[in-house]
Structure 1
Amino acid sequence: MKHQDVELLAIGVGPSNLALAIALEELAPDDLARNSMLIDRADTVVWQQGLLLPWATSQISFLKDLVTLRNPSSEFSFVNFLHASGRLDHFINMGNLWPYRSEISDYFAWVANSLSKVKVELGRECVAVGPRRDAAGKLVGWSARFADGSTVSSRYLVIAPGRDPHIPEVLAGLSADRVIHGTRYTPRLATLPRDLPYRVAVIGGGQSAAEMFCALQDDLPEADIAWVMRSLGPNALQSSKFTNEMYYPSFVDKVYGASPAGREEIRREMHRTNYSGVEPDLLQNLYSDRYVKGLAGQDRTSLVTMVDLVGAEETEDGVVLQLADRATGEITRLERDLVFLGTGFRGEMPALVRGLADELKLSEITVTRRYQLVLDEPSDAACYLQGLNEDTHGVGDSLLSVVVDRTAATVQDIVSRRHHAGRTEFADAGA
């Protein structure tokens, strides 16, 4: 079986590790960059593939790309991508700070193809990572095992797999053809005939649920679509110039430096700026569209609000949802052919990280300010968690807003560790 040795292995080829790769090529010694590898189970580099809707925007300024906040003159900037793609004039003429989501996805793929030192390998699914020890039992590195039986050993490990989709417990185990999380929206829609009168439910009150509710009206024009949520109605995300300052990289210091109770207070205050809400422009468009269709007697949608999903069963004809009215407690049944979930992601660490923590016998999973996994033993090896540290680094940790600062801090930490180790095999460690 194939085995490889690298100095740095990064699992996941999303925005976090692509920004890491840029930082390696621009900040790290050449021998480290050339002995680093990014791997991903997907065969292509695609961002938010499940909801890569043609009209969806990125909700973030193009200046918050993978490098500009650190190095505005970088060849890996979004502006240079537009220039290389022959679209810079058109983008400027749009007069919009927020690129389309598909354009950001194309940018990420362009970055992956433009790297000259860091290797990128796709179509490799990592199934487990564990510690690698010498004869004396000292932790000296990491071993990653892949679905095809191959392995990769490294001294430095960066894990950025994204969080696992959240499937409500009452829907767990139901057919994946009928219960579809937002991460699988576009692939599943591609298999469905457009002209059938499906009975559809969309579960959730956030941005992804709103996007699916909107998209389904075009993708399945004959469908009866019910948008089901716990709130009294769809709420707008709390957004202003003032709240956006909480997504500056510098705000991470305030969060990390707070007490555990203080961090929780900050999270509660920031919750509605990123969760359980919808972009105001999308809400306005949805309301206007329902109004116009209502005038013409063509509205096939409904909002089912203030309910808890308390049960579900799969039948030959579809899925029966049991909904409890939060005001009266009354239980009603909603029969649907398809159920789409805008229920976000699980709050716990991904299975890959939990498995590693178990092998290390860690009592808790936490990281330093520079995102290094805190170990219970001394080691020259180090593992870093990217986009998984909301508890310690704030709500913005999983977003593009801080990805440049986060990955630069990680690379600087690795370069510093190499320098202080003073090993002869790292000839350029002090560069």
Structure 2
Amino acid sequence: MANRDVELLAVGAGPSNLALAVALEELAPGLARDSVLLERDEEVSWQRGMLLPEALSQVSFLKDLVTLRNPRSRFSFLNYLHATNRLNEFVNMGSFVPYRVELADYLKWTADSLSLVDLQRGRECLDITPVWTDGTLTGWDTRVADGETIRSRYLVVGAGRDARIPDLLRTVDQDRVIHSTQYLPRIAKLRKDLPYRVAVIGAGQSAAELFGAVQRDLPECKPTMVMRSIGLNYYESSKFNNELFFPSHVDKFFDARPEAREQMLKEMHHTNYSGLAPGTMDALYRSIYLDRLSGRSRLNMVTMSDITDARDEGDEIVLELTDRRTGETQELRTDLVLLGTGFSPEMPRMVQEIAKSIGLSEIKVTRDYRLEIDQPATAAVYLQGVNEATHGIADSLLSVLAPRANDILQDILAHRGETPEVPPQPTSDADTADTADPVVATR
């Protein structure tokens, strides 16, 4: 028996579901009042493990939770800057990309600004089971860690992908293995005066940031970067490539033949993965250059090498590295392994379990992100941020947050036989002459 019934339950208060919550409040206030957003952590954040002070977002501030859907929204990044008295400083900086800590604070500010959607922090979803009525799927029972069960007709999963941890590194002491998603809280617990030998695994932005951060956070450490590639590369970016991150490209990608989708994903891989931002690349190379110049030989980089074995030996982890050019092996003895290995391309465990619970042999979604269910159903489930294979590379990024939230909401409203309650908008400058600009209006 459910302890509470709601119309819509969203799991995970990350950017995807926050964008949906904003769309609900602006376009469907009635539904918003019957919606719950669950967040397992005590506060809303974003990439909390890698909120390095100097790290920049790779996405324009205009691709926030709402602007591409409603530029006049009070939930925009610009209004956040105005509300926190930082608008002038940000404009003066002359950058389209905010710092990562700034973007995380914007998401927290948005969460605190919600007034209709019931955002519940510190509540972890343990499992989700389908509700059947006379052979028809009519809802979902979501069990929360505190024992409550919430029943909903609509379910939106936006909890993100699972961290990718190489199988070999799952067999060693996990107290010495830190994925980038856990870097800051776990590194803070270590003594700063010990000469740790650190292996940083990966060749992308996260690995490079870990390599730089650990030099500051553990000043006496000796880090070694290990990668399968021949070296580090910039992201492949151009204004032409960036058009493939436009919301309008989603339709083209979704309608493309499977072989065309595969080609596009392959060619777009280096626009977001296995690459570094120019600033990160330059800073990393300068640090290695200065290390060589000083003769310290503190920093090391091993390229074209696979980890072919890993074992615990006393108080250290021993990695066997096999050179892909020669086949020769060497041992790398470490005290700490940092993983800049990103996220698993597989569907998250939660999504797989939902699909299994209703007997689906394949996870497929519609253009509007609704899970295709091959049985009678009056309920529905939507997947956010995990549909690269059908919706393009931008699906796991911030680029399409606002339009995707709108797509999902419009599909839910159509499924319920409703139309959105669109708030009136000024139609000319004259209409706003005596009113506050909605972009900078405070709540």
Q: What letter matches 1:21 in structure 2? A: A
Superposed CA deviations along residues 49-94 of structure 1, whole A, max 9, x for unmatched, are 1111000011111111100111111000000001110111111111
Superposed CA deviations along residues 380-399 of structure 1, whole A, max 9, x for unmatched, are 21110000111100111010
Which residue is equivalent to 2:433?
Answer: none
Q: Is the 8 Å Cα contact of residues 135 and 376 (structure 2) preserved in structure 1?
A: no
**CA apart distance, 1:38:** 0.4
Which residue is equivalent to 1:424?
Answer: none
Which residue is equivalent to 1:236?
Answer: 234
Q: Residues 205 and 430 of structure 1: is their aligned pair in 2 closer, same or farther, counting only changes over 3 Å? A: closer
**CA apart distance, 1:315:** 1.8
SS in 2 for 1:6: strand
SS in 2 for 1:130: strand
CA distance in 1, matches of 2:348, 2:290: 44
Q: What letter matches 1:4 in structure 2? A: R
Q: Is the 8 Å Cα contact of residues 180 and 340 (structure 1) preserved in structure 2?
A: yes
Q: What letter matches 2:298 in structure 1? A: R
Which residue is equivalent to 2:374?
Answer: 376
CA distance in 2, matches of 1:265, 1:259: 10
**CA apart distance, 1:265:** 1.1
Aligned residues: 422
Q: Is the 8 Å Cα contact of residues 180 and 341 (structure 1) preserved in structure 2?
A: yes
Q: What letter matches 1:74 in structure 2? A: S
SS in 2 for 1:129: strand
**CA apart distance, 1:305:** 0.5
Which residue is equivalent to 1:245?
Answer: 243
**CA apart distance, 1:2:** 7.6
**CA apart distance, 1:430:** 7.9
Which residue is equivalent to 1:204?
Answer: 202
Q: Is the 8 Å Cα contact of residues 208 and 276 (structure 2) preserved in structure 1?
A: yes
Q: Is the 8 Å Cα contact of residues 5 and 153 (structure 1) preserved in structure 2?
A: yes
CA distance in 2, matches of 1:415, 1:236: 43
Q: Residues 73 and 429 of structure 1: is their aligned pair in 2 closer, same or farther, counting only changes over 3 Å? A: closer
Which residue is equivalent to 2:167?
Answer: 169
Q: Is the 8 Å Cα contact of residues 370 and 413 (structure 1) preserved in structure 2?
A: yes
CA distance in 2, matches of 1:57, 1:183: 16
Q: What letter matches 2:25 in structure 1? A: E
Instruction: Structure 1: give runs of 5+ residues left out of the alignment.
Output: 421-427
Q: Is the 8 Å Cα contact of residues 180 and 188 (structure 1) preserved in structure 2?
A: yes
Which residue is equivalent to 1:423?
Answer: none
Q: What letter matches 2:65 in structure 1? A: L
Which residue is equivalent to 1:73?
Answer: 72
Q: What letter matches 2:61 in structure 1? A: F
Q: Is the 8 Å Cα contact of residues 24 and 32 (structure 2) preserved in structure 1?
A: yes
Q: Is the 8 Å Cα contact of residues 418 and 429 (structure 1) preserved in structure 2?
A: no
Q: Is the 8 Å Cα contact of residues 235 and 276 (structure 2) preserved in structure 1?
A: yes
Q: Is the 8 Å Cα contact of residues 66 and 403 (structure 1) preserved in structure 2?
A: yes
Q: Is the 8 Å Cα contact of residues 205 and 231 (structure 1) preserved in structure 2?
A: yes
Superposed counterparts of 1:288-299, under 5 Å = 288-299=286-297
Which residue is equivalent to 2:13?
Answer: 13
Q: 1:158 aligned to 2:171?
A: no
SS in 1 for 2:63: coil
**CA apart distance, 1:299:** 4.7
The equivalent position to 1:388 in structure 2, one of 386, 389, 400, is 386
The equivalent position to 1:306 in structure 2, one of 298, 304, 311, is 304
**CA apart distance, 1:223:** 0.7
SS in 1 for 2:394: helix
Which residue is equivalent to 1:425?
Answer: none
Q: Is the 8 Å Cα contact of residues 227 and 304 (structure 2) preserved in structure 1?
A: yes
CA distance in 2, matches of 1:354, 1:296: 52
CA distance in 2, matches of 1:344, 1:11: 21
CA distance in 2, matches of 1:317, 1:183: 24
CA distance in 1, matches of 2:121, 2:171: 29
CA distance in 1, matches of 2:94, 2:106: 19
CA distance in 1, matches of 2:352, 2:171: 22
CA distance in 1, matches of 2:3, 2:198: 47
Return 376-385 or 60-69, whichever deviates more.
376-385
Q: What letter matches 2:83 in structure 1? A: A
Q: What letter matches 2:198 in structure 1? A: V
Q: Is the 8 Å Cα contact of residues 171 and 310 (structure 2) preserved in structure 1?
A: no
Superposed counterparts of 1:268-417, under 5 Å = 268-417=266-415
Superposed CA deviations along residues 127-177 of structure 1, whole A, max 9, x for unmatched, are 11121112x121111111122221100011000110111110111132222
Q: 1:89 aligned to 2:96?
A: no
Q: What letter matches 1:107 in structure 2? A: Y
TM-score (norm 2): 0.93
CA distance in 1, matches of 2:71, 2:259: 37
CA distance in 2, matches of 1:48, 1:347: 18
Which residue is equivalent to 2:260?
Answer: 262
Superposed CA deviations along residues 362-403 of structure 1, whole A, max 9, x for unmatched, are 120010000000000232211100001111001110100011
Superposed CA deviations along residues 268-293 of structure 1, whole A, max 9, x for unmatched, are 11111111111122101111222223
Identity %: 55
Instruction: Structure 2: give runs of 5+ residues left out of the alignment.
Output: 423-443
Superposed CA deviations along residues 237-283 of structure 1, whole A, max 9, x for unmatched, are 10111111110011111110011121111111111111111112210
Q: Is the 8 Å Cα contact of residues 22 and 67 (structure 1) preserved in structure 2?
A: yes
SS in 1 for 2:119: strand
**CA apart distance, 1:110:** 0.4
CA distance in 2, matches of 1:347, 1:258: 20
Q: What letter matches 1:8 in structure 2? A: L
CA distance in 2, matches of 1:37, 1:55: 34
Superposed CA deviations along residues 205-246 of structure 1, whole A, max 9, x for unmatched, are 011000000111111111111000001111111011111111
Return 84-93 or 289-298, whichever deviates more.
289-298
Q: Is the 8 Å Cα contact of residues 127 and 352 (structure 1) preserved in structure 2?
A: no
Q: Residues 429 and 245 of structure 1: is their aligned pair in 2 closer, same or farther, counting only changes over 3 Å? A: closer
**CA apart distance, 1:417:** 1.1
Q: What letter matches 2:9 in structure 1? A: L
CA distance in 1, matches of 2:229, 2:40: 37
SS in 2 for 1:141: strand
Could you list the structure 1 runs, at least 4 aligned residues long, displaced by more than 4 angstroms after superposition: 428-431
| RMSD, aligned CA | 1.4
Superposed counterparts of 1:136-151, under 5 Å = 136-151=134-149
CA distance in 2, matches of 1:310, 1:162: 29
Q: Is the 8 Å Cα contact of residues 23 and 408 (structure 1) preserved in structure 2?
A: yes
SS in 2 for 1:282: helix
